[in-house]
Chains A and B, each alone.
Chain A
């Protein structure tokens, strides 16, 4: 488990009100974690702050799972 994954998980649990165990690498934000489009926008903002990076709207739209976010952050941070 990477540090990035743990930090992402903490934010997802806090923002989406889900259990830690639900935040698996494969979990889809909308289908599995109950996020709507506004939740995703807010989550992206929070991740940008947490990791001090900018995720373009174009990239943000491609990210659908927890694992994709972790990979994106690891390759851009």
Chain B
């Protein structure tokens, strides 16, 4: 028998805040987390803006200084978001949950790029004998999941998905399936990323993928707007505590929403250019998995990265999936505010889906001043909207043609 799976805890680290309330209020206020990069000198870079998590100190969240020093920034983000989500869920592993039935899947699109960059500099300047013995364990993309289990004592399935910008949604969808089929009772799942680093800013810039609207950072991420010119890099983490309904009820947990569907597909098309057919097949699979009619979907949290090609392609895919209903449902891209958090995006956007369902409010797409005629759906422009929705969907698409969609429903016994 398939287990029903519910969201009982959520945690976030982002440019718009590191607690749920601050984060949600910023989204409803239409606040942008984007500004000139402070961490590095960006003088020589075409893109000088990003959505940084400023003044982040892991010790403020109870992580020991000695331990934090051996963690890449993406691991620190993932661990902090996980600890917040666990606290939010009142999950006490070993007390109200069997450690062996609690798993972790917090992925990263890229992994410890900052550690890699620092250690490579040491290799070039000082030679091989000076490369840190912690380089490899700090850098590998699975180490957020590893450190989260070490810190929390979760001894169930422990894994990591790496599918670029689809990582967070794949991690949550795969975790949903693990619980649904009984391999775990609880999963701590989502994504973490920390790539606001010179090497990544240079690499993405040279792909011509990032906005260069350096003189107006807060207006740079503008999905579906005619003047969009690329994505704005964000960083942070978004983590859910997913749990079988039975387990949640037995321990009297508060339930945010129910996860009901998961879809995956591959474009089989191009390294970086999306094919709308792949995204449409992904959404259709998720709808089928949920056992609902496409018309049941009332809100889509779009991948919507603010690139000229991507937003158009997703719009086409939504129309292909939903037909006339595409014009009736609401779509918004919260990346207009958070920037594109790459592998963390799906995690953070799942948190947003949970909050939208719980509060009956849709966060807006900001900076949507002149809608692209080729993006002709209802994108909830600039102002949040009260809407007592029951079913919502979140999309994530990654380089390589990896597509992932999850569907959540308002919880009803």
Contacts and interface: CB of A to CB of B under 8 A. Distances in A.
Majority secondary structure, A binding face: helix
A38 B65 contact: no
Given A17-B64, A17-B65, A45 B130 contact: yes
B66 A41 contact: no
B134 A16 contact: no
Contacts of B137: 38
Nearest to B136: A38
Minimum-distance CB pairs A-B, first 6: A17-B66, A41-B133, A38-B133, A42-B133, A17-B65, A38-B134
Interface residues of B, number: 10
Interface of A: 16-17, 38, 41-42, 45, 49
B129 interface: yes
Interface in B135-185: 137
A16 B67 CA distance: 9
Contacts of A45: 129-130, 132-133
Contacts of A17: 64-66, 69
A41 B66 CA distance: 16
A9 B132 CA distance: 20
A17 B133 CA distance: 17
Nearest to A41: B133
Contacts of B132: 42, 45
Interface in B107-136: 129-130, 132-134
Nearest to B65: A17
Contacts of A42: 132-134
A24 to B, nearest CB: 19
B231 to A, nearest CB: 37
Nearest to B126: A49
Contacts of B66: 16-17
12 contacts: A16-B66, A17-B64, A17-B66, A38-B133, A38-B134, A41-B133, A42-B132, A42-B134, A45-B129, A45-B130, A45-B133, A49-B130
Nearest to B66: A17
Contacts of A16: 66
Interface string B183-215: 000000000000000000000000000000000
A41 B133 CA distance: 7
A33 to B, nearest CB: 11
Contacts of B69: 17
A41 B137 CA distance: 14
Contacts of B130: 45, 49
Interface in B53-70: 64-66, 69
Contacts of A38: 133-134, 137
Contacts of B133: 38, 41-42, 45
A38 to B, nearest CB: 4
Contacts of B65: 17
Nearest to B137: A38
Contacts of B134: 38, 42
